[in-house]
């Protein structure tokens, strides 16, 4: 099975711009979670989607949003970019939510905000 | 108190030795525990999952869980230089979601 894919892999934006990141989960996986990783804060949960519904949201401002499509692919959007949004954005998929299912991570999108 | 705590290290062990990585968590209702390995510049990859008290072995890796002490550990036997990476402890809380809470990670250095 193909793994989790994320596009683009690298992105450079300037402050004030907006960005959309894409994630395709492992085939058959219906749950997609997004995480932000920075050297200072580590890996932090952004949000989780299951069957096109947001199941949980982390402690991030409203500039961060996401959605999931009927084929389980997910996108996340960050509007009005700030320098502090520079990070590695990771998507993880699992078969379904609510149990102990393992989450498998994609390669990530590295975002640099100038 | 952080929800998931790990010693950031670096933990340095000689090649062939046992590396012991530790993690404590605050949510007593947590049910699922995971160890991920992350090489520099790469994304986390799963090493082990553990759900019940006791030990779980997979090759050179052994995960240990003690829910009463809210403690989970990872032992790496016969450590190899290729094991040098950051090891992330992740805990799924008691709520019915997929949210993982990560520790800051422990950097392991295996010296030849």
Render pLDDT for B14-57 as a digit per residue (tens, 0 to 9). 999 999 999 999 999 898 999 999 999 999 999 999 999 999 99
Q: Does A48 touch chain B (CB under 8 A)?
A: yes
**CA distance to partner chain B, nearest, from residue A22 (Å):** 16
Q: Does the pLDDT at position A100 exceed 90?
A: no
Cross-chain residue pair B46–A43, CB shorter than 8 Å: no
**CA distance to partner chain B, nearest, from residue A18 (Å):** 24
Cross-chain residue pair A48–B97, CB shorter than 8 Å: yes
Helices and strands of chain B, counted as H and E runs:
0, 11
Percent of chain A with pLDDT over 70: 96
Q: How far apart are CA B87 and CA A114, in angstroms?
A: 30
Chain A positions touching B31 (Cβ under 8 A) are: 100
Taking residues A70-94, what's their average pLDDT? 97
What pLDDT digit, counting tens, does each position of A7-56 carry? Answer: 999 999 999 999 999 999 999 899 999 999 999 899 999 999 999 999 88
User: Where is pLDDT greater, at A101 or A23?
Assistant: A23
Taking residues A90-107, what's their average pLDDT? 84
Chain A positions touching B34 (Cβ under 8 A) are: 102-103
pLDDT value at position A99?
62
Q: How far apart are CA A97 and CA B97, in angstroms?
A: 6
Cross-chain residue pair B99–A101, CB shorter than 8 Å: no
**CA distance to partner chain B, nearest, from residue A15 (Å):** 24
Chain A positions touching B42 (Cβ under 8 A) are: 107
pLDDT value at position B43?
96
What pLDDT digit, counting tens, does each position of B64-84 carry? Answer: 999 999 999 999 999 999 999
Q: Which of B21, B19, B29 is nearest to B70 (CA)?
A: B29
What pLDDT digit, counting tens, does each position of B80-103 carry? Answer: 999 999 999 999 976 677 789 999
Neighbours of B15 (CB within 10 A): 12
Give yes or no for a contact between A45 and B99, defined as CB atoms under 8 angstroms apart.
Answer: yes
Structure tokens at A40: 């200072």
pLDDT band at A96 (very low <50, low <70, confident <90, very high): confident
Chain B positions touching A50 (Cβ under 8 A) are: 98
pLDDT value at position A5?
97
């Amino acid at each position: 099975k193909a793994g989790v894919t994320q596009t683009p892999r690298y992105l450079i934006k300037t402050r004030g711009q907006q960005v959309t990141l894409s994630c395709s989960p492992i085939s058959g996986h219906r749950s997609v979670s997004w995480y932000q990783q920075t050297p200072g804060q580590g890996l932090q949960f952004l949000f989780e989607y299951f069957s096109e519904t947001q199941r949980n949201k982390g402690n991030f401002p409203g500039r961060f949003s996401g959605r999931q499509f009927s084929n389980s692919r997910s996108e996340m959007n960050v509007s009005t970019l700030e320098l502090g949004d520079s990070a590695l954005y990771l998507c993880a998929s699992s078969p379904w939510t609510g149990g102990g299912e393992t989450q498998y991570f994609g390669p990530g999108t590295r975002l640099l905000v100038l | 108190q952080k929800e998931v705590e790990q010693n950031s290290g670096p933990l340095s062990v000689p090649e062939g030795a046992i590396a012991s990585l530790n993690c404590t968590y605050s949510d007593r209702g947590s049910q699922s525990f995971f160890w991920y390995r992350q090489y520099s510049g790469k994304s986390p990859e799963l090493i082990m999952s553990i759900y019940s008290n006791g030990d779980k072995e997979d090759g050179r890796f052994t995960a240990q869980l003690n829910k009463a002490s809210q403690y989970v550990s990872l032992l790496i036997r016969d450590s190899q230089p290729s094991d040098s990476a950051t090891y992330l402890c992740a805990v799924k809380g008691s709520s019915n979601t997929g949210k993982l809470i990560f520790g800051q990670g422990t950097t392991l250095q295996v010296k030849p």
